[in-house]
Amino acid sequence: MNPKINKSALVTGITGQDGSYLAELLLDRGYRVFGMVRRSSSSSTQRIDHLIQGDTPRVQLVPGDLADIASLRQVLEATRPDEVYNLAAQSHVSVSFQMPIYTSDVTGMGALRLLEALRELQMTDVRLYQAASSEMFGNATESPQSEQTPLMPRNPYAVAKVFAFHAVRTYREAYGMFAVNGILFNHESPRRGKQFVTRKISSGVAEIVHGKRESIALGNLAACRDWGYAGDYVEAMWQMLQQDSPSDLVVATGETHSVREFCDRAFAHAGLPLQWRGEGLNEHGVDKRGVTRVHVDPEYFRPAEVNYLLGNPARAKAELGWAPQVSFGQLVEMMVDADLAATGGGGAQAASRCASG
Ligand code: NAP
Ligand code: F7E
């Protein structure tokens, strides 16, 4: 424990990918950490079980829901944190087309409820980090995207994040709150949910290597994202709340890669290099033996797609001294290795079996 820090933090969304990495970071820095969890009949704490189990849990869980302002008031009063990290959201873009009103209520209004609860409780001296998103740029008018790029949301998730973004700015300006938006580009890890494309690919590769499936069905192979490592990005979140004055920052790697390229790297690392054949709906990736390992299924197309995102992290570098530590190639390999190991064998070991077989 760091004896110099005697602060407490409340993390909403602590059971998610980022929440788990952020909780570990805050504990390492000597924080007392509270995690808000919503009520469920089954557990969703797998990513933080190592922090909450045993005789002396390191994180204290408190019940609350972004849809319910009364619960937010109770959580804030009970925990009285120095810092709040609002990571909770309905975070899946495709789901947001199926459930736009629910998404706007949780992802958009939820952030406003948190701000308003802080104001009502006269807790405006609490520092607030809001998880904003590169999805807010939509099919952006310029590239790379920076803090100055106009927001042009193209899906209900992004619309909700834009609402939350402006709510944070409004409370900062109106009530002098230290409230900031981290405009984070995609960040991934072995803890990423399997419904997001990177983890869908890495877990699919592992299942193919272990003979549990033959191929992966994907949507838009040409979509490009600026993919970084979630462990690096939670460091930027923390740094944003340690600044002298609040500002909204883009956090990104400054590199973009297509879904197709992610597949290439992931399959090659597992010893199954792909060749692409066909076009459009008929495009497919085959291995050396001619077996199709990736094919296109229109079920995974979105009603409106964000085709290309590339971030400019220059301001984060200048103001925070932040820079990503894990490269794109390292990220892909880390995810494939973790899934190979979890699916039933060592990463490199399984890959070499595949390469020789
Ligand atoms: P995630 O894995 O989907 O986690 C979402 C978290 O929100 C989970 O802990 C979930 O709890 C919680 N949650 C959902 N609805 C809630 C509600 N009504 N009340 C309270 N908690 C609720 O997301 P992530 O990838 O860690 O991302 C963290 C945040 O950053 C999200 O706001 C996301 O939109 C944003 N973001 C993510 C990325 C990225 O690339 N990962 C990039 C930019 C912005 P349950 O366990 O109960 O479901
Ligand atoms: O899609 C394409 C898909 O779902 C990435 C969230 O964390 O990052 C995430 O949102 C791209 C898209 O992430 C499949 O069409 C192709 O172009 O992994 P994703 P996302 O939509 O970029 C942002 C920054 C957030 O803020 C969000 O919370 O990949 N794609 N085939 C596919 N995507 C999925 N999910 N599944 C496919 O089969």
Whether the CB-CB separation of 33 and 23 falls below 8 Å is answered with yes
State yes or no: pLDDT of 352 exceeds 60: no
User: CB of 117 closer than 6 A to ligand 2?
Assistant: no
User: CB of 93 closer than 6 A to ligand 2?
Assistant: yes
Structure tokens that stand for 237 in this block: 């979140």
Structure tokens that stand for 117 in this block: 């609860």
Whether the CB-CB separation of 62 and 35 falls below 8 Å is answered with yes
Q: Which ligand is in closest contact with the Cα of 307? A: 2
Write the residue with the smallest CA distance to atom 10 of ligand 2.
93
State yes or no: pLDDT of 297 exceeds 60: yes
pLDDT in tens, 135-160: 999 999 999 999 999 999 999 999 99
- Between residues 252 and 351, which one has the greater pLDDT? 252
State yes or no: pLDDT of 271 exceeds 60: yes
Q: Which ligand is in closest contact with the Cα of 311? A: 2
State yes or no: pLDDT of 356 exceeds 90: no
How far does Cα 209 stand from its chain's mean position? 27
User: CB of 133 closer than 6 A to ligand 1?
Assistant: yes
Strand ranges of the sheet holding 216-218, from the earlier edge strand across to the other edge: 216-218, 292-296, 284-286, 275-277
User: CB of 44 closer than 6 A to ligand 1?
Assistant: yes
Pocket test for ligand 1, best of 39, 87, 189, 326 (most atoms within 8 A of CB): 87
Closest CA to 70 of 115, 113, 34, 129: 113
User: CB of 235 closer than 6 A to ligand 2?
Assistant: no
Q: Which ligand is in closest contact with the Cα of 194? A: 2
User: CB of 225 closer than 6 A to ligand 2?
Assistant: yes
pLDDT in tens, 62-77: 999 999 999 999 999 9
pLDDT in tens, 75-132: 999 999 999 999 999 999 999 999 999 999 999 999 999 999 999 999 999 999 999 9
CA of 29 to the centre of ligand 2 (A): 32
pLDDT of residue 346: 54
CA of 60 to the centre of ligand 1 (A): 18
CA–CA distance, 179 with 190 (Å, rounded to integer): 30
pLDDT in tens, 193-246: 999 999 999 999 999 999 999 999 999 999 999 999 999 999 999 999 999 999
pLDDT of residue 5: 73
Residue tagged 């970071």 (tokens): 25
pLDDT of residue 353: 43
pLDDT in tens, 247-260: 999 999 999 999 99
pLDDT of residue 345: 56
What angle, 0 to 180 degrees and rounded to 10, lies between the N-to-C axes of helices 197-209 and 347-356?
60
User: CB of 20 closer than 6 A to ligand 1?
Assistant: no
State yes or no: pLDDT of 4 exceeds 90: no
CA of 306 to the centre of ligand 2 (A): 9
80 CB neighbour count, 10 Å cutoff: 12
Q: How confident is the model at residue 355 (pLDDT cuts 50, 70, 90)?
A: very low
CA of 197 to the centre of ligand 2 (A): 6
pLDDT of residue 261: 98
Closest CA to 203 of 258, 275, 270, 301: 270
pLDDT of residue 349: 52
Q: How confident is the model at residue 344 (pLDDT cuts 50, 70, 90)?
A: confident
Q: Which residues contact 187 (CB under 8 A, 6 or more apart)?
A: 18, 227, 228, 229, 230, 232, 233
User: CB of 63 closer than 6 A to ligand 1?
Assistant: no
Residue tagged 């008031």 (tokens): 73
pLDDT of residue 196: 98
Q: Which atom of ligand 1 is nearest to the CA of 13?
A: 9
**Mean residue pLDDT across the chain:** 95
pLDDT of residue 286: 98
Q: How confident is the model at residue 357 (pLDDT cuts 50, 70, 90)?
A: very low
Q: Which ligand is in closest contact with the Cα of 107? A: 1
- For the entire predicted model, the pTM comes to 0.96
User: CB of 240 closer than 6 A to ligand 2?
Assistant: no
User: CB of 126 closer than 6 A to ligand 1?
Assistant: no
